[in-house]
Amino acid sequence: MKKLIVFTLLLLSITMIQAQLKYPAAKKVDQVDDYHGTKVADPYRWLEDDNSADTKAWVTAENAVTFDYLSKIPYRNGFKKRIEELSNYAKFSSPQKKGEWFYFYKNDGLQNQSVLYRQKGLDGQPELVLDPNKLTKEGTTRLIGFVLDKQGRYAAWGISKGGSDWQEYYVRDMQNGKDLTDTISWVKVSGIAWQGNGFYYSRYPATAKGKELSTKNENHQIWYHTVGTKQSTDRLIYEDPKNLQRFHTISTSDDERFAYLVISDRGKGLDGNALWVSDNQASDKSFKPIVAEPSNFNYNVIENISTDLFIETNDAAQNGKLIKVSIYHPEKSNWKTILPEKPEPLTSVSSVGGKLFANYMKDVTSRIYSYDFEGKLQSEVKMPSLGNAGGFGGEQTDRFTFYSFSTFNYPSTIFKYDIGTGKSTVFQKPSLAFNPSEYTVEQIFYPSKDKTMIPMFIVYKTGLKKDGKNPTILYGYGGFNISSTPSFSAALIPWLEQGGIYALANIRGGAEYGEKWHEAGMKLKKQNVFDDFIAACEYLNNKKYTSKDYLAIRGGSNGGLLVGAVMNQRPDLIKVCIAQVGVMDMLRFQKFTIGWNWIADYGSSDHKDEFESQYKYSPLHNIKAGLQYPATLITTADHDDRVVPAHSFKYAATLQEKNSSKNPILIRIDTNSGHGASNTAKNIETMADIYSFILFNMGVAPKF
């Protein structure tokens, strides 16, 4: 009887709140574009101008509606409090050694940003190096790079403000811990590569004031900065005015002898890179090609032994391999294979202590092996269970290294690995109230529309009854050769505690099974990605994990595109959609910031065949008037200069206009955040709102 009363009151509350919903008025303009003879209306084009008074007024009004709705959900604060409780434990990064010092990051629990420390030896007393929490009152400035020179005397470090991809660099004297006067601006898509008394970095020309977060970024340049000087005196190293949409980045060898110039041209649809090398000890220090022009093959330098480079590549090896190339005899006929291609994709190779460590992915879990530099297998690094591992970095003289391991029910733990004995010992284990045995992790394989078998992880509280009534979040990404691997998140536990299920579908477009898996979800084959995700919805429903009344789909960025497209195609399968910072306008994405970088994966509306494919699934352009859409929460942020908020703005306005159901269509626009939450507090608030919105619209009342 008590459950019935609670359920009845909840339904009344939902009905009352939804009846009061009134979306802000959004004007429409007569904007029509011609794509290869097809006329496409874009009535909310004005929302692309994030600085206009009309857009700002619309954003304010939409947020008022959204946060008023969320504030009335009775258990919103309960979720927020529980996520905070479970997230409040110390988190450490793996240490990185430089001379006698070990550098590491630590978050005490709920700090907005992790803090950088160092200590002498593994048993030394930690001392503070940089605390980004003190840089701004709101705690939304992130430390995005800290790189020491060869001697460890100077460090170049960078920040981003409010979640933007723009970066600023500074220089610190590590002998006295004080910053010099060096300030470097307009940095984006860059590394820090020391050589001599300065470092290389990549930047764009300055944009017009007020247009920093939306202007199309072109002419990526490499500069060299000398310590103790002004940026105005920096030396231009490389640019390519004939190819304005190329990326140019530099890294240097550990001994700083070699500089590696990487050039990519994703704006022309190429998924790989060119590789050029400069020898600082040669009389001619100009860059010489290993691979002269970008293609669809990647070349990533792992290590050098004298003038031989060890390069990870997918050239003639879809799953990846490691080759050795002489700098002074770079012809392909001289390349020597060290680690040949295997059936499992090679996800990374690192080098430390005179060994190579190769990370292979088997059914979306890590397998780590050590080899000598001739490619002879030394040993397998045994993991605690099936999960995700990374690390194994350091210098050739090191006798030990570190790696981290985690999975859904195994919090991220740092291990110390003895290179000589091959033995792993726990170095840093998190201390939190969590019992792995209380949660079950399954990996299943289900058939997609074309019968391709797709892996999926399903996580839930042990003993959960599969009766079709379990609130379920299905998450996916499916793009850009990125794998969605199992990892631990304290923020997930409150969802599982309330009887929720979390499912992660490893759909095509990612790297889970190598380049062939990626290519099967690119460009004209993008519909495979949506079919894979739809099949995951059907599997979860058919197998009674959940049902259409209790299934929510969630995705961010390319995953936002995913759930937007799937909701258009199969709204009957789902109850709630959470679309975060999504690429919703597939016809104009390339016109903002670095959106042209995605052409390699998506194609471009400038080409007729690719336009026709994109137009069929573009979330914005396939919203149908009169269709009953699920409850939808769209999230974006004012400082997202990767997927500009205009995507979500136009999508929300169109969906609010055309939806015929009583389900809420809300957009949550964060401030001082970017493509992801800019600090811990904002991330917790966002997750609490997502969980609350989902359960409220499913008519489920959690217990707190």
Catalytic residue numbers, as ranges: 557, 675
DSSP string, 545-572: S--TTSEEEEEETHHHHHHHHHHHH-GG
Integer Rg of the chain from CA: 26
Residue 649: which of 608, 574, 690, 592 has the closest Cα? 592
* Joined tokens for residue 222: 């490499």
3-state secondary structure (DSSP) of residue 140: coil
Residue 290 in contact with residue 298, Cβ under 8 Å? no
d(CA 297, CA 312): 10
In DSSP terms, 321 is beta-bridged to: 313
Number of H helices, E strands in the chain: 11, 39
Helix axes 680-698, 53-71, angle to 10 degrees: 60
d(CA 315, CA 302): 16
Amino acid at 36: H
3-state secondary structure (DSSP) of residue 69: helix
d(CA 660, CA 625): 7
Length of the chain: 704
3-state secondary structure (DSSP) of residue 267: helix
d(CA 584, CA 560): 7
* Joined tokens for residue 337: 């294979």
Write the CA distances from 684 to 65, 78, 232, 474, integer angstroms. Answer: 21, 12, 41, 19
* SS3 sequence of 475-535: ECCCCCCCCCCCCCCHHHHHHHHCCCEEEEECCCCCCCCCHHHHHCCCHHHCHHHHHHHHH
* Strand bridging mode 273-279 / 288-291: antiparallel
Residue 559 in contact with residue 475, Cβ under 8 Å? yes
DSSP string, 619-677: TGGGPPTT--PPEEEEEEETT--SS-THHHHHHHHHHHHH--SSS-EEEEEESS--SS-
Residue 365 in contact with residue 486, Cβ under 8 Å? yes
CA 410 to centroid of chain Cα atoms: 21
3-state secondary structure (DSSP) of residue 697: helix
